[in-house]
Structure formats: C-alpha cells, structure tokens
Amino acid sequence: MYQIALKMLMGDRAKYIGLLLGIAFTAFLVTFALSYFAGFITRGFALISENNSADVWVMDPAVNSTELTINMPDSTLGRVRSVKGVDYAVPMSLNDITARFPNGSFQFFQMIGVDDATLAGAPMLLDGRLPEVLHTPDSVIVDAGGSAGKLQTPLAKRDQWPFDRAHLNVPTRELMLGDELLVNDRRIIISGRSKTIPRFPPRPLLYTTYSNVTHLLPSESRRLTFVLVSAQENISPKQLANRIEQQTGLRARTASEFKEDTVHWFLINSEDVGDMAAMLILAMTVGFGVTGVMLYMFTYENLKQYAVLKAMGASASMLLGMIFIQAGVGALLGAGMGIGMCAIVGESVSMTLDYPFRMMWFTPLFGILGVLIVSLTAAAISARPVLKLEPGVVFSGR
C-alpha cells in the first residue's frame, strides 16, 4: 500500500514538484534565519573568541556583555593580581572614539587598548608583521570589523589636511601603513591592518596600547574595562572566578560563561532577534500555506483512488498512513533541497558581502523539524476528506 502511495505522489509530476519546492522554500527560510542568528551571535562575542588565552574575564559588577560596558579604576588590576591562583592578569580598555580623516571626514571606532608589555589582545596583522609595531609612539592597528568602505583616506596628497576647507567628495583609497588620523586633536599613525572576527553590529576597530589610551583620552579618569586573567595549573577557571568575586566584589566570569552572558544579552536587547523570529514565522506560515494547499489538492484529486482502496478493504488507518507517508517523503526530500540551497546561498553571501551567516549543527536540524511540523500538520488537514469518504462514490460516477 505504501508503494502505491509513493507512486500516486510521484505520478502527478507538476504537483509533486510544486510540493517539493514549497517544502524546500520553508526549509531554506528556517535554516537561513537560524544560521543568521548563529552568525550574529558568534560575532557578538568575537572579542572573547579572539582572546582565547584568557581563562577569566573580570569586569564591573553591572556588566554582563561585551556590548554594554563601563570602566573601572586602574587600581582594580592590582586587586585582581593579588588573588591567589592568578597566574597573570592584563588590562583591556574599550572606548568609543571619533577619528578625523585627512580630508575632514570622520568615523566612529571602537578603540581597544591592550597591555603594553605583553600586547595580549592585539590582533595578527595582514602582512605577517608582528603586533610589536604598537610599541612605536602614537601607533595604532586598524580593522574593518565587518564594515565596508569605512576606512577611506584621500587618494591625492593635495586633499589631505587641506587648509582651505574639507575635501569630502574626492577620490579615496583604503588606509595604508603610515597614514595619519586625528583623535581628540592628537595624531595617530597607522602601523598595521588586521582582519579579525567581524563584529556585530559591524564597526571599525582601532587597537593601541593601554598607555596610548591615556594620551588619546586624557579627560577619562577610568580606562580599565576588563582584566584578562590566566589561571594557575592547580586551579580551575571556575574556581578562580568565584575566588576573585569573593575577594574583590567584582564580576568574574569564565570565557564560556561570558559568551553565554553575551548571548543572553543579545536575546533580550537586540532588535535582530525580533527580525529573526519574524522570518521564522513567515517561513512557517508560507510553508504551511503552500504545503497545505498542495497536499489538499493532491488528496482531493485522488479521492476516487482512495475510495477504490477503501472499497477493497483498506482501513482508515492504512489510508491515513498513506497520506502521512506521502507528506513525510515530500518533507525529507524538500528539506534536503532547501538546506542544501541554504548552505550554497549562505556561504556565497557571507564570502562576498561578509554577511553574518554561520550554519551550525543545530540549524539544519531545526530546519528539518520545522518542515516536518508543517508537512504533518498539512497532511492531517488534507486527510479529513479521505476519512469521511464513502466507497460508494466510486460507483456513483461522481
């Protein structure tokens, strides 16, 4: 009987292809929305991922993500270093600044101040140079941070630092080594370009030493945002974090815990979570509409065949099983098509447009689950006329 059901399903090629395309579209949208969610979430804690040598992150008690921070006094570093079990602890500073370009335009940056001695937190440079270039006075490393077209300086020398007026609409090029910017009327020199994990939301990054932050932000009395701690071998990061909290009153989280905190913060505060939920609802609604209509039409047009089977002694449960087999096979084939299409399109978009797309292990599983829910619900609705069917309809000529 089930072989007959599959032959009935594939016999009408037009409706069969339409059913597969509807299911594939549902799987595509569900998987793409979840992959987008996974992409921007992983970019949201990119700062933590870049500093994988830090076992514990110490911060102000009110801070619970890398997106919304407040600085602490410099004396905090000494307090953390005094805790038993700390192998080493280095400072990190996060500040939003405005930099002036040579043609008079300006751009917002996230400035990341790293430890002068160890340069812990500094990125690797694109040309293979070492982060030690930051030891040169007034040196910085710039990174696009997932943005595009934000690091442009005038192409012609005559348009750089003009005395007459700002030269805003002139040909530009990307920043190169040796170019200069102004931050609070202080000159900084581009000593390197990097390409770290893109941020979400995208924003240009500017790396410098912790001492240089003092020169660039002289009015700031508090510059320490995080203390990055490495634990000694005889203590686990979780134990050390608890000990730091008890002795200092600060918030101390292991790297994995801080990632979870950041994810939770995005779920509550990011508008993109609502966009993703809307995309999922749209995908399920469209998928249910297309799949439900196609299955209902297919079942209705085959009522005579079902009536023949019922007249031959097929039970209601057997007919119901045939309908669900048809829906299940269509769901699995359509889901495979949709997930494969999502992987191809997503990777292409992420490579060309630097889109926050990341297909993790759970995204195709949820895509298949969404398709199964839609398909089985549609099958249950389309089975109603079959269950109410009277075998006599075969002989009545209707």
Closest CA to 327 of 360, 299, 349: 299
* 214/295 same-domain check: no
Task: Mark which of 205, 238, 269 sits at the end of a domain.
Answer: 269
* 10/122 same-domain check: no
* 295/316 same-domain check: yes
Task: Mark which of 242, 269, 296 sits at the end of a domain.
Answer: 269
Please give the tally of structural domains in the chain: 2
- The structure's pTM equals 0.82
Q: Does the pLDDT at position 398 exceed 60?
A: no
Segment 216-258, tens digit of pLDDT: 988 888 999 999 999 999 999 999 999 999 999 999 999 999 9
* 40/173 same-domain check: no
Task: Please state the rounded mean pLDDT for residues 290-305.
Answer: 77
Of 29-43, 270-284, 307-321, which one has max mean pLDDT? 29-43
* 68/98 same-domain check: yes
Instruction: Give 140-207 as a DSSP string.
Output: EEEE-TT-SS-SEEESSGGGSS-SSS---SS-EEE--TT-EEEETTEEEEEEEEE--SPPSS---EEE
Q: Kindly report the CA angle at 33 between 32 and 38, in degrees rounded to 5?
A: 95
* 290/218 same-domain check: no
* 247/160 same-domain check: yes
According to the model, what pLDDT value does residue 341 have? 92
* 77/33 same-domain check: no
Closest CA to 297 of 14, 97, 91, 89: 14
Task: Mark which of 269, 298, 329 sits at the end of a domain.
Answer: 269
* 343/238 same-domain check: no
* 228/290 same-domain check: no
According to the model, what pLDDT value does residue 387 have? 77
Q: Does the pLDDT at position 361 exceed 90?
A: no
Higher confidence at residue 54 or residue 22? 54
* 226/155 same-domain check: yes
According to the model, what pLDDT value does residue 111 have? 96
* 183/96 same-domain check: yes
Segment 63-81, tens digit of pLDDT: 999 999 999 999 999 999 9
Range of the domain at 135: 47-269
